[in-house]
Amino acid sequence: MPNQASAGLTASPKPAVLIVDESPDNLAPLRDMMLRQGYENFVASSGERALEIAQRLKPDLILLDVAMPGMDGLETCRRLKTQPATARIPVILMSARAETEDIVAGFDIGAADYIPKPLRMEEVCARVRAQLRLSRSSRDSDSQKEQAERLRMIVDSMDQGLLIVERYGRIQYANPACDRYLGYAADDLVGRSLSELLANKEAYPDGCAAMEAIGHGTHEVLIRRRDGGLRAMDLTMTPMHAADGLFVAVLHDITHHKQSEDALQRAAMLDPLTMIANRRQFDAFMEKEWQRAIRNTQPLSLVVLDVDHFKLYNDTLGHIAGDACLQKVAQALQAHALRPTDLAARYGGEEFVLLFAETPLDAAARLAEAIRAAIEGLKLPNPRSPVSPWLTVSVGVAAIVPTQLDDIEQLFVCADRAMYAAKEAGRNRAETTVAGAAWEAVSGAALY
């Protein structure tokens, strides 16, 4: 089978449009038109399915037919707008009913626009473009207003201590966690020298030499609390801006970190069937690698994998064979998670995930295709599968160079979208996408 994993490695993410209509005669031309416009699109034939797809894939816009059996378009729109995850997605209603009360009801529940049927495709395209522009402009404006407040909230609520240090070692700012770690009242650390806090300060003299001696990156140091007690910490120094001569110093309490690690190790961290990591271990591992990627400005790649037609496999061969199948898939995944910063896990049912730290998108795409081929190469018979006589998988790959303004869910949504696209394209393939504002950085030279 040809390798689909390399497609779109350097392309900017496309806007995603969800089309909801019970009639295949309406879905087909709408989908063709959206594809010609360069949009990624998904389809649903019922309100219930639309809610499920929107919740998981977070499309940029929804075209929603009003007249559907069961849950109609108005009720679907109302439910979309009551869910925080989907409330901000613009919804364009489509209907052959032109009564004023129907149009008013649509706008009252939060619809962004209303298009009468029969549809004129040029008008649909124009309205979709307009709503996507408005949505993007609104997000940009909100982002500019919220970034400063979000940064302040992040810094104030983070568990790690954060200092802003001037060129000559003077502390300009300390966040609440830093005061709490070291036993100081708010603002008491401001004006002090960083070297005062270091127990072995003869190794880190005052002045610019202190910054040079500590160096960039992360170092284990002994920090002296206000009461004289010592606390072992990781100290990460990062220059803010060369011209300003300011450094960000992040303090991480190693004692607390080790206690957390011990607690995780004592918990059940393996999936009992496949004996690879379970969801709980994967979530904890990903949070740690996410923070490390932020500190080191390194790419992080997520692979989401789903076994094709696994229900048919179980129904045909039985659950015992199904369990054995999942075990063999897990072993194939584990064989590709070779570094301490890689992790393969069973995320639930027949869905698996792999995390590759310090790995850009092109390297992760090659790994995903190797995994897909390895599983097909197991030649596990799947007699009723319309895809292949053997068991196959659909794989989605997403990569990001995360910042404090990104969140982990964004990476999962992008990988889920790519996996969904692989299934829509015929299954037994790998599809890729990128996440976050710094998408260009993830398509560089392979680090793996």
Residues 72 and 42 in one domain: yes
Instruction: Report the b/e string of 306-334 with b at 16+ CB within 10 A.
Output: bbbbbeebbeebeeeebeebbbebbbbbb
Is residue 152 domain-resident? no
Residues 104 and 86 in one domain: yes
Residue 366 burial (CB count, 10 A): 18
Give me the domain span that covers residue 351: 268-443
Distance separating alpha carbons of residues 333 and 347, to the nearest angstrom: 13
pLDDT digits (tens, 9 = 90+) for 309-331: 998 888 889 989 999 999 999 99
> Which pLDDT score, from 0 to 100, does residue 231 have?
83
pLDDT digits (tens, 9 = 90+) for 384-443: 889 899 999 999 999 999 998 888 898 999 999 999 999 999 999 999 887 654 444 444
173 Cβ neighbours under 8 A, 6+ residues apart: 162, 163, 164, 190
Distance separating alpha carbons of residues 398 and 337, to the nearest angstrom: 16
DSSP string, 87-146: TTS-EEEEES---HHHHHHHHHTT-SEEEESSP-HHHHHHHHHHHHHHHHHHHHHHHHHH
> Which pLDDT score, from 0 to 100, does residue 245 have?
77
Instruction: Report the b/e string of 407-431 with b at 16+ CB within 10 A.
Output: ebeebbbbbbbbbbbbbeeebbbbb
Residues 196 and 296 in one domain: no
Q: What percent of the chain is predicted at pLDDT more than 90?
A: 49
Residues 80 and 164 in one domain: no
Is residue 47 domain-resident? yes
Instruction: Report the b/e string of 82-111 with b at 16+ CB within 10 A.
Output: eeeebeebbbbbbbeeeeeebbebbeebbb
> Which pLDDT score, from 0 to 100, does residue 442 have?
45
> Does residue 373 contact residue 362 with C-beta atoms inside 8 Å?
no
Is residue 163 domain-resident? yes
Mean pLDDT value of segment 269-275: 88
Residues 211 and 314 in one domain: no
Which of the four pLDDT bands, split at 50, 70 and 90, describes residue 219?
Answer: confident
Is residue 6 domain-resident? no
The region, left, alpha or beta by phi > 0 then psi within -120 to 50, assigned to residue 100 is alpha
> Does residue 436 contact residue 378 with C-beta atoms inside 8 Å?
no
Distance separating alpha carbons of residues 315 and 43, to the nearest angstrom: 27
> Does residue 306 contact residue 354 with C-beta atoms inside 8 Å?
no
Is residue 187 domain-resident? yes
pLDDT digits (tens, 9 = 90+) for 11-44: 457 899 999 999 888 899 999 999 999 999 999 9
> Which pLDDT score, from 0 to 100, does residue 103 have?
82
Best CA proximity match to 48, nearest among 15, 30, 22: 22
pLDDT digits (tens, 9 = 90+) for 39-74: 999 999 999 999 999 999 999 999 999 988 899 999
Mean pLDDT value of segment 360-384: 93
Which of the four pLDDT bands, split at 50, 70 and 90, describes residue 235?
Answer: confident
Is residue 363 domain-resident? yes
> Which pLDDT score, from 0 to 100, does residue 12 have?
54
| Domain CATH for 122 | 3.40.50.2300
Q: Scanning the structure block, which residue is given the tokens 């087909």?
A: 28
Residues 327 and 424 in one domain: yes
Is residue 263 domain-resident? no
Domain count, the chain: 3
> Which pLDDT score, from 0 to 100, does residue 447 have?
37
The overall average pLDDT reported for the chain is 84
- Token pair listed for 47: 């309100």
Residues 309 and 406 in one domain: yes
pLDDT digits (tens, 9 = 90+) for 120-168: 999 999 999 999 988 887 776 655 666 667 677 777 888 888 898 888 8
> Does residue 326 contact residue 378 with C-beta atoms inside 8 Å?
no
> Which pLDDT score, from 0 to 100, does residue 444 have?
44
Distance separating alpha carbons of residues 244 and 174, to the nearest angstrom: 18
Which amino acid appears at position 236 of this protein? T
Which helix (DSSP H) or strand (DSSP E) does residue 231 occupy? Answer: strand 230-241
End-to-end CA distance of the chain: 24
* Residue that finishes a domain, picked among 147, 169, 200: 147
Residues 40 and 140 in one domain: yes
> Which pLDDT score, from 0 to 100, does residue 6 have?
43
pLDDT at 97 over 50: yes
